Structure 1
Amino acid sequence: MNETVKKTELKKPCVNCGAELKYKPGTINISCEYCGHEESIKIDENGFEELELYPYLQEMGAQKHSEEISMLHCKNCGANQHVEENYKSLHCVYCSMPLVIEDAYKEDWILPGAVLPFQIEKQKSFLIFQKWVARLWWAPNKLKKAALDPQFTKGLYLPYWTFDAQLSASYTGQRGEYYYETQRYRDSNGKTQTRQVRKTRWYPASGHVSGFVDDTLIKASQQRSGRIPNKIAHWNLKKLQPFSSSFLSGFVTEKYTIPLKEGHLHSKDVAKNIATRWCRQDIGGDTQRISSMNMKLAEETFKHILLPVYVSAYRYKGKEYNFYINGENGQISGTRPYSFWKIFFAVIFGLIIIGLIVLLTQG
């Protein structure tokens, strides 16, 4: 095994009791859950390293920032996950199906350039879940007693690509300015009325816009099931830290399944939308038309980054429901059961009220 493999796979023991040190959310420390010993994570003073894009797209220099990691593949939902802890009993972070330790295999990945460490602990995620349940309309009363098994709640680092570039675009189009004319018309009673009708004067426009596009965020993984809801997929990237494997200790890390080349194509679509917005702002007026736009990207760089989320499931009346909590800001999204009887009686009550209103109106 080469040296780069050891960089990620190495587990750091506690100097007091020998247990594995794990990352403590909301800090830059790793700690021992048995004796409480803590050590600071060494942060690279040079910050993040933005990698030149095209050498990687052309498969040149890919080994410079790559390494091997051990992976476990879920045969049920297709998720690929790396676990930075001693293998005991493992279940898929998405679907809770058991993972076979003997099926672990080695695979190359582009080393993450940055990580946004977990800011909230697992116990707080349980409290967020309980508050969420308490606010649910039409939920069964007994849902508050839902069985939330801690072993099926996992802190997961999600892989994303970020892209930076100098953007420039030339455009031709038209600037529209509104004006109003008074029109006469006859109403339903045959009387003559007036109204203001908005119209647009169009003027030719052309120009050039440019600027720096920073940290275009592109999802780098996708499974057949258990996709992270868009509602919680928002992180403050200013909290990114230079990558250290110590931040992964005690958590699951998902390997990217959307390759860099495909992620780059998605980022170009985002850049095109940004260029269009800049062109419209440059044209000005009340409304705009863009007939042609020539966009160019230069000095393109990228990072592979990891972002935190808690993934779990709870059981109610024998059925499993999933929920997800953003590991940085605590935003929650999930599936939930509905109470048939609450909805049924609400409908009946509504019909009774409508009936009473009709009777009173007729009376």
Structure 2
Amino acid sequence: MEIITHKCPNCGGALTFDPSDQKFHCPYCLSVFTEQEVSDFEAKQKDATFQDETSPLTGETTQAKATSPPEGTLDLFLCPSCGAEIATDSTTAATYCYFCHNPVVLSGRLSGQFLPNKVLPFQIEKEEATKRFLEWTKKKWFVPNAFFDQSQIEKLTGVYFPYWVVNAKGNGEIAGKGTKIRVWRIGDIEYTETKQFDVKRSGKIGFKELVKNALSKNTQQKMVESVQPFQLEKAITFKNQYLSGFQAEKRDIEYQAIEGEVKKELDHYSQTLLSNSVSGYTTFNKSQAAIDFTHIEGEYMLLPVWLVTYKNKAQSDHVFYYAMNGQTGKVSGILPISYQRLGLVSGGIFLTLSLLFMLGGYFL
């Protein structure tokens, strides 16, 4: 498996992708490059040089041992910049070297059948993400200080998560009974007229960009769903340069594994759309439905999320999180509660009310 650190064409330093201008920056010589310039430079380098396949810096020896590892084990790779060992789990596709801090892309994990169709680049840089994180948490009165202290801020990480994005077309038909009820009064007598009608609805149905999780360790499903929607029309053909400077995960849920769930969900949406098109009746009761999808396609995409997680001693069995859409800035989170702060505020309110009652009783 090839391990890549995208190098600066001018000084050889490690490049990182900057969401603020959608370009690649070198922190050493401060050069800035477009994606095309980086790709052209790397293509020339590949044509001009051939790596020794037995070189220990390629990590081939280590990776060969790590092929198809048992579940729960770590894979070891060699950093192409400093030669240090990098330990990752089996789904990590981009990370940092903990020794030289250079960004590393494990390109082999995002190739072949695991090559994403598209990537949606980050639009929000870490400085802006940190600012929004602090603004959001400081409005929450009962969040403990430890949740947004410096050590937590440093944990804020930009991650490309894998998703299946489903598009579908089909035909649908429903049938049922529509009821019209008319009520009128003559004198003291109230009359009710009920009429029933056979109702059918049919039509062509299309769905675009149904987003489904493609990573099994995303146990906090709400975490990755709550920051949607993404503006997927801005997704581009996948190039691993956009992963540089961020973490990335590869999918471990195949489309076939969720195909039944997707069809069931689309079927439900289709019946709801057709039922909602029925009008002019007091009530409508559906009795039959037939949905036939002529085309369903799942595209594999990497989508950007800023993420920080937190555990406190009082609730060590629960993981709290803050997540932000790396494109639109939409935020979501499940936050810890400082019971000490909550107690102080509750006690203060109780004391204030008690004093008011006492003063009220004194003057009455």
TM-score normalised according to structure 2 size: 0.69
**Which residue in the other structure is 1:12 paired with?**
6
Moved more, 121-130 or 226-235: 226-235
Give the 5 Å matches for 1:180-219.
180=183, 201-219=195-213
Shift in alpha-carbon separation, 1:300–1:273, aligned structure 2, 3 A:
same
**Which residue in the other structure is 2:140 paired with?**
136
**SS, match of residue 279 in structure 1:** helix
Moved more, 156-165 or 226-235: 226-235
Give CA deviations for 1:313-342 in whole Å, capped at 9, x if unaligned: 468789785322221122223343333343
**2:97 counterpart (79, 83, 87):** 87
**Which residue in the other structure is 1:333 paired with?**
332
Give CA deviations for 1:4-44 in whole Å, capped at 9, x if unaligned: xx5xx54431111101222211444222122222222249x
Shift in alpha-carbon separation, 1:333–1:213, aligned structure 2, 3 A:
closer
Q: Do the aligned partners of 1:148 and 1:313 also contact (CA within 8 Å) in 2?
A: no
**Which residue in the other structure is 1:233 paired with?**
228
Give the 5 Å matches for 1:1-363.
9-42=3-36, 80-84=90-94, 87-88=97-98, 109-140=113-144, 142=145, 146-149=149-152, 152-177=155-180, 179-180=182-183, 201-223=195-217, 225=219, 227=221, 229=223, 230-286=225-281, 287-313=283-309, 321-348=320-347, 349-350=349-350, 353=353, 356=357
Moved more, 173-182 or 150-159: 173-182
Give CA deviations for 1:109-153 in whole Å, capped at 9, x if unaligned: 43111111101011211111110121003234x458623356533
How many residues align structurally?
Answer: 308
Aligned-pair Cα RMSD in Å: 4.3
Q: CA deviation at 1:227?
A: 4.7
**Which residue in the other structure is 2:59 paired with?**
none
**SS, match of residue 226 in structure 2:** helix
Distance (Å, rounded) in 2 between the aligned partners of 1:351 and 1:132: 30
Distance (Å, rounded) in 2 between the aligned partners of 1:263 and 1:105: 21
Distance (Å, rounded) in 2 between the aligned partners of 1:297 and 1:267: 12
Q: CA deviation at 1:178?
A: 5.0
Q: Do the aligned partners of 1:71 and 1:107 also contact (CA within 8 Å) in 2?
A: no
Larger RCO of the pair (alpha carbons < 8 Å, separation 6+): 1
Q: Do the aligned partners of 1:167 and 1:275 also contact (CA within 8 Å) in 2?
A: no
Q: Do the aligned partners of 2:172 and 2:205 also contact (CA within 8 Å) in 1?
A: no
For 1:308, give the aligned amino acid: P
Q: CA deviation at 1:274?
A: 2.3
Give CA deviations for 1:149-174 in whole Å, capped at 9, x if unaligned: 56533211111112222210122112
List gaps (5 residues or longer) in structure 2.
38-63, 75-87, 102-107
Q: Do the aligned partners of 1:12 and 1:20 also contact (CA within 8 Å) in 2?
A: yes
The structure in which a higher percent of residues are helix is 2
Q: Do the aligned partners of 1:32 and 1:38 also contact (CA within 8 Å) in 2?
A: yes
For 2:353, give the aligned amino acid: I
Distance (Å, rounded) in 1 between the aligned partners of 2:294 and 2:328: 34
Q: Do the aligned partners of 2:95 and 2:246 also contact (CA within 8 Å) in 1?
A: yes
Shift in alpha-carbon separation, 1:226–1:253, aligned structure 2, 3 A:
same
Give CA deviations for 1:186-232 in whole Å, capped at 9, x if unaligned: xxxxxxx99x9999754210132113222222111232755552322
**SS, match of residue 84 in structure 1:** strand
Q: Do the aligned partners of 1:71 and 1:106 also contact (CA within 8 Å) in 2?
A: no
Q: Do the aligned partners of 1:134 and 1:144 also contact (CA within 8 Å) in 2?
A: no
**Which residue in the other structure is 2:43 paired with?**
none
Distance (Å, rounded) in 2 between the aligned partners of 1:11 and 1:116: 20
Shift in alpha-carbon separation, 1:324–1:10, aligned structure 2, 3 A:
same
Distance (Å, rounded) in 1 between the aligned partners of 2:31 and 2:246: 19
Shift in alpha-carbon separation, 1:343–1:87, aligned structure 2, 3 A:
closer
Distance (Å, rounded) in 1 between the aligned partners of 2:344 and 2:203: 60
**SS, match of residue 27 in structure 2:** coil
Q: Do the aligned partners of 1:26 and 1:120 also contact (CA within 8 Å) in 2?
A: yes
List gaps (5 residues or longer) in structure 1.
44-67, 92-103, 185-192
Distance (Å, rounded) in 2 between the aligned partners of 1:212 and 1:127: 39
Sequence identity of aligned pairs in percent?
A: 20
Distance (Å, rounded) in 2 between the aligned partners of 1:280 and 1:313: 42
